[in-house]
């Protein structure tokens, strides 16, 4: 009897650890290639949970692959972009414990430039302002040769006088 209880206790412990190992998350993986089949390293993969609007961003590895783990199950938008290629967008629904494979093939597109303003910043810091002045009309310009540059410090700022040899 004692032996049976020991076996039952051991089986209960073993099966309970299996129950705790269940996963309530999902994973997205994939490879990014161009239309010729070559992998694209450094492409930006952005996934957005469409229910919460939370985004995760990751570059592809040297082999063109990416892996995003511990994702809450739901509907996601996967955007893949790289300079010189057209952006690819796909929507995928993740289930509990699913490992979804979302490969992307990028087509060559027009190269474009994006300027993104990250926040308000001063163009010139007060400690780095240079005051440029033109010499007075009665001052003769220096002789032709290297242009002299004179500077003096006033109130913690550098004052620079620039001379021109233009006639």
Which CATH number characterizes residue 92's domain? 2.60.40.10
Structure confidence at residue 118 (pLDDT): 37
80 inside domain:
yes
Tell me, yes or no, whether 88 and 148 share the same domain: no
Q: What is the pLDDT of residue 156?
A: 58
Query: Mean per-residue pLDDT for 139-155?
Result: 54
pLDDT at residue 24, as a whole number:
87
Q: Tell me the pLDDT tens digit for each residue of 35-93.
A: 999 999 999 999 999 999 999 999 999 999 999 999 999 999 999 999 999 999 999 99
Handedness of CA 63, 68, 74, 76 (dihedral sign): negative
Note the pLDDT of residue 117.
Answer: 34
In a domain, 45, yes or no: yes
Report pLDDT for 109.
80
Same-domain status, 84 and 44: yes
Residue 151 lies in a domain: yes
Number of domains in the chain: 2
Same domain, 151 and 79: no
Q: Assess whether 80 and 36 both reside in one domain.
A: yes
132 is a domain residue: yes
pLDDT digits (tens, 9 = 90+) for 80-137: 999 999 999 999 999 999 999 999 999 988 544 333 333 333 333 344 444 445 555 6
Same domain, 96 and 138: no
Looking at the fold, whether 145 and 101 belong to one and the same domain comes out as: no
Q: Same structural domain for residues 42 and 78?
A: yes
* Domain match, 36 and 97 both: yes
pLDDT at position 111 is: 45
Does 130 lie in the same domain as 95? no
The pLDDT assigned to 82 comes to 94
**C-beta pairs of 42-47 under 8 Å, 24+ apart in sequence:** 42/82, 43/80, 43/81, 43/82, 43/85, 43/104, 43/106, 44/80, 44/81, 44/82, 45/78, 45/79, 45/80, 45/104, 46/78, 46/79, 46/80, 46/81, 47/71, 47/76, 47/77, 47/78, 47/79
Q: What is the per-residue pLDDT for 131?
A: 45
Domain that holds residue 83: 23-106
């Amino acid at each position: 009897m004692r032996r049976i209880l020991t076996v039952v206790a051991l089986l209960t412990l073993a099966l309970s650890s299996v129950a705790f190992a269940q996963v309530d998350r999902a994973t997205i993986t994939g490879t990014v290639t161009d239309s010729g089949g070559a992998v694209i390293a450094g492409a930006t993969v952005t996934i957005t949970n469409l229910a919460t609007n939370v985004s995760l961003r990751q570059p592809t590895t040297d082999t063109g692959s990416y892996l995003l783990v511990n994702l809450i199950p739901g509907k996601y938008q996967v955007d893949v972009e790289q300079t010189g290629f057209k952006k690819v967008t796909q929507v995928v629904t993740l289930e509990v414990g699913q490992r979804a494979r979302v490969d992307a093939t990028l087509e060559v597109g027009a190269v474009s430039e994006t300027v993104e303003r990250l926040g308000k910043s001063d163009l010139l810091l007060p400690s780095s302002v240079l005051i440029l002045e033109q010499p007075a009309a009665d001052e003769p310009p220096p002789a032709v040769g290297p242009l002299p540059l004179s500077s003096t410090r006033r109130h913690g700022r550098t004052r620079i006088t620039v001379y021109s040899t233009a006639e």
